[in-house]
Amino acid sequence: MTDAQILPGSTRQLKNHTSLKQTVLNSLTMAHRGLLKMRRTPEQFFDVTLQPILFTLMFTYIFGGAIAGSVSKYLPIIIPGILIQTVITTSVVTGVQLREDMDKGVFNRFKSLPIARIAPLAGALLADTIRYGIATVLTFTMGYIMGYRPGAGIGGVIAGGLLTILFAWCISWIFAFFGVIARTASSVQGVSLLILFPLTFLSNAFVPVDTLPHWLKTFVSFNPLSHLIAAVRQLANYGTIGHDFWLSLVGALIIVALFAPLTVRAYMRKA
Amino acid sequence: MATQTPTTEFAVEATGLVKVFGDNRAVDGLDLKVPTGSIYGVLGPNGAGKTTTINMLATLMRPDDGSATIFGHDVVNEAQIVRQLIGVTGQYASVDETLSATENLIIFSRLLGLSASEAKKKSTELLEEFGLTEAAKRPLSKFSGGMRRRLDLAASLIAQPPLIFLDEPTTGLDPRTRNQMWNTIRRLVSTGSTVLLTTQYLEEADQLADRIAVIDHGKVIAEGTGAELKASIGTATLQLEVVDKKDDAAAAKIIHKTLGVEPTISRPGHVSAPMARPDKITDLLIALRADNIHLSQVSVQEPTMDEVFLSLTGKPQSSHPKPSQKGAKS
C-alpha cells in the first residue's frame, strides 16, 4: 500500500455533474479501450475483411453481364451498393458486441466510476468506425483491382467513404439501442438482421430501380439506404453533391438525435 | 437529510433500504451504520441481499424505498459525488478479460482523469503492490482467480477512495490466496480507508471486521463486534473420537467431571461437548490417559453459519440445504 494517507471523504472537492469536456475525454478513453480490444481479438475483423472481398467478387461477376452488359460497366453501380451493404451490416455487430460487453462485470465498474454516463456507449460506437473504415477501404480497393476507375478520382472516393462511415456510425445507435434493451446477444443479431435484409436488398444497391414493379419502386425510393447509395455514387463517380447527399446526411443526424438519448436512458435504467 | 452538512462520523448510513425484484423482497428495510475508518462486515448466506445492498450503496441500483448516504451524500440525488468517494470490487472480477492487467489499470486511471503519464505510473505502482508485475502484460484470460481478484481490488484503489466496497472478496479463493487478500484489506484500512465487505464466512468476518451485521432475508438480524456476536451464538464444540468404541461412555463421564459440562455421544465412539473452559483441556487429556482411554481424534469445531442462523433466527438458514439436519437424525 502507498504510505500516503487517504484524503477523508469530507474534505474532498466534489461536484455532482459531468462537464462536456469530461464527457468527450471519457468517451475517447472508452474508444481507446475498444481499439485495444480489437487488437486482442483480430478474429472480429473477419466480417469487415472477408465480406467486402467475397461480395464484390461474387455479385459483380454474377450480375455484371445481365444488368449492365459488362463487368466494367457494372462496377460504378455495384461498388457503392456493396460498400453500403457491408458497412451497414457491420454496424449491427456494434449492437451485438455492446450486449456481450454489458453482460460482463466490467460494465458494473464503469457504472460505479464518476464518469459521463454516455461514455461507455459513445466510446464503443466510436471505436467501431475503424471497422467501417476497413470495410470501406477494402471494398474500394477490391473494385479498383477488378477495374473500377471512379470518375471523380481519389477525392470523390474519400468523400463517399467518409459519408458512408458517418452514416454507419449514426445507424449504429439504433442497433446499440437494441443491444441495450435486448436480453441476449443473439436476439440483437436476429432482430437487427431482420430489419437490415429488406433495407439493403430492397434498394438501388444492385439493380436499376426502373426494372422494379411499381409498389417496390415506391419502397425503394423511400428507403434511406437508396439515397445514401445514390449520394456515394454521385460523389465517387461524378464528384457532385446532390439532394441525395443532403437527405442521407440529415436523415442520419435525425437518427442520432432520436436514438442516442433513448439508448442512454435505457442503459441508465438497467444500471 | 441529504442537504445537511456531511457528517464524517459514518461512512455509510442507510435507513429502511428496500429493493424488490418481482415477488422477491431482496432487501427489506435494511438499516446500516458504518463508522468511518473501520472494516465493517456484512455476513449472510447466499440470497440474503448482500450484493443488492452493495449495489444500492454503490449507485448501481436505485433503492425502491428508504435512503442511504455515503459520507453524508445521498446515493440517489448526489450519485455522481458518491461515485467519487467509493471503490467497488464486485463478486465477479469487474475487469476487462481481453485486455492485459496494465491496459486495464491505465484505462480506469484515464477515466478517473489521470494524464497518460500519471496513469502509467499509477498502474505500475499498483501492479507492484499487488504482486502482479510479472503478469502485467499477459491477457487476463491466463490469470488465476486470485490474481484477478487482486487486479480487481487494485483497480478500485486508483482514485484512493475513502470508502471501498468488497463483495465477497475471497469466495472461491484457496486458503493461501485468501490470507493474502485479508492482509491487503487490513493494510487498506491502515491508510485511512473505510471498508465494507460482505462474506458468507463467519470466520472471515470475525478475522477482519471491527463490527459485523448479520443479514437474512434482506434485514439485519444481529449487529455488533465479532466477540459480541460469538458470545450470543455460543461456544465452539470439542469433539473426541475414541479408539475403542466401548470407551465412549467412560470418556463422557471424565469430560463431565473435568470440564463440568454435559457431553453428548453423537454416535458410538464419538463424544462432543461445549468448549466452555478451554484451559481445562489439558486436564481432560491427562485424565483420559490415566484411565487408559485412547483417542483417535481430537478436534474443535467453531460455530458454523448454520449454527449462527439457528441461534439468531431460531431456524436454520433458508437458502442452503441443511447438512446439520442429517447429523441430528442419525
Q: In sequence order, which residues have a C-beta less than 8 Å from that of residue B35 and are 6 or more positions away?
A: B9, B10, B11, B194, B210, B211
C-alpha cell at B34: 458504518
A residues 96-115 near B, CB within 8 Å? 104-115
Instruction: Indicate whether B163 and B280 sit together in one domain.
Output: no
Pick the more confident residue, B16 or B280. B16
Average pLDDT (B233-246) is 83
CA distance A85 to A94: 15
Instruction: Indicate whether B106 and B151 sit together in one domain.
Output: yes
pLDDT band of residue B1 (cuts 50, 70, 90) is very low
Domain ranges of chain A: 19-270
Beta-strand (E) ranges in chain A? none
Instruction: Indicate whether B224 and B245 sit together in one domain.
Output: no
- Contact A8/B at CB under 8 A: yes
Give the residue numbers spanning the domain of B158. 10-232
Of B210, B232, B254, which residue is a domain's last? B232
Q: Report how far apart, in Å, the C-alpha atoms of B80 and of each of A15, A18, A25 are.
A: 7, 8, 17
* Structure confidence by residue, pLDDT tens digits, B7-57: 568 999 999 999 999 888 999 999 999 999 899 999 988 888 999 999 999
**DSSP designation for A211:** G
Nearest to A6 among B70, B99, B160 (CB): B160
Question: What pLDDT was estimated at residue A165?
Answer: 95
Closest alpha carbon to B209 in B27, B37, B7? B37
Question: What pLDDT was estimated at residue B189?
Answer: 84
Element (H, E) at B257: helix B248-259
Contact B8 A16 (CB under 8 A): no
* Residue at B322 is within a domain: no
Average pLDDT (B229-250) is 82
Average pLDDT (B248-277) is 86
pLDDT band of residue B163 (cuts 50, 70, 90) is very high
Q: What distance in Å separates residue B263's CA from the closest CA in chain A?
A: 48
Question: What pLDDT was estimated at residue B56?
Answer: 93
* Residue at B313 is within a domain: no
CA distance A111 to B1: 25
CA B138 to chain centre: 30
Instruction: Indicate whether B194 and B285 sit together in one domain.
Output: no
Average pLDDT, chain A: 87
- Contact A23/B at CB under 8 A: no
Q: Indicate if the alpha-carbon torsion angle A62, A63, A68, A72 is positive or negative.
A: negative
Residues of chain A in contact with residue B113, where contact means CB-CB under 8 angstroms, are: 22, 25
Average pLDDT, chain B: 84
* Residue at B126 is within a domain: yes
Question: What pLDDT was estimated at residue B178?
Answer: 86
Q: What distance in Å separates residue B44's CA from the closest CA in chain A?
A: 22
Asked if pLDDT for residue B324 goes beyond 60, the answer is no
CATH code (residue B63) = 3.40.50.300
Q: In sequence order, which residues have a C-beta less than 8 Å from that of residue B4 and are 6 or more positions away?
A: B72
Q: In sequence order, which residues have a C-beta less than 8 Å from that of residue B65 and are 6 or more positions away?
A: B16, B17, B18
Q: pTM above the 0.80 mark?
A: no
Helices (H), chain B: 50-57, 79-83, 101-111, 116-129, 145-156, 175-190, 202-208, 226-233, 248-259, 281-290, 305-313, 323-329
Instruction: Indicate whether B253 and B199 sit together in one domain.
Output: no
Instruction: Indicate whether B247 and B269 sit together in one domain.
Output: yes
As a whole-number percent, the residues of chain B with pLDDT over 70 amount to: 88
* Structure confidence by residue, pLDDT tens digits, B215-232: 988 999 889 888 787 777
Q: What distance in Å separates residue B197's CA from the closest CA in chain A?
A: 16
Q: Which of A2, A3, A5, A6 to mutate to test the interface with B (most CBs of B within 10 A)?
A: A6
* Residue at B124 is within a domain: yes
Question: What pLDDT was estimated at residue A138?
Answer: 93
- The Cβ-side half-sphere exposure at B316, using a 13 Å CA radius, reads 11
Asked if pLDDT for residue B316 goes beyond 80, the answer is no
Instruction: Indicate whether B217 and B266 sit together in one domain.
Output: no
Instruction: Indicate whether B209 and B251 sit together in one domain.
Output: no
Average pLDDT (B50-65) is 91
Q: Which ipTM value was assigned to this complex?
A: 0.81
pLDDT band of residue B264 (cuts 50, 70, 90) is confident
Low-confidence ranges of chain A (pLDDT < 50): 1-3
CA distance B223 to B229: 7
Instruction: Indicate whether B191 and B255 sit together in one domain.
Output: no
Question: What pLDDT was estimated at residue A9?
Answer: 61
* Residue at B75 is within a domain: yes
Pick the more confident residue, B16 or B145. B16
* Structure confidence by residue, pLDDT tens digits, B164-213: 999 988 887 888 888 888 888 888 888 888 999 999 888 888 889 999 99
CATH code (residue B240) = 3.30.70.980
Instruction: Indicate whether B87 and B206 sit together in one domain.
Output: yes
Instruction: Indicate whether B261 and B207 sit together in one domain.
Output: no
Instruction: Indicate whether B175 and B257 sit together in one domain.
Output: no
* Structure confidence by residue, pLDDT tens digits, B90-100: 776 688 888 88
Residue of chain A whose alpha carbon sits nearest to that of B81: A16
Total domains present in chain B = 2
Q: What distance in Å separates residue A220's CA from the closest CA in chain B?
A: 42
* Structure confidence by residue, pLDDT tens digits, B73-124: 999 999 999 999 999 987 766 888 888 899 999 999 999 989 999 999 999 9
Element (H, E) at A156: helix A153-181
- Contact A269/B at CB under 8 A: no
Asked if pLDDT for residue B154 goes beyond 60, the answer is yes
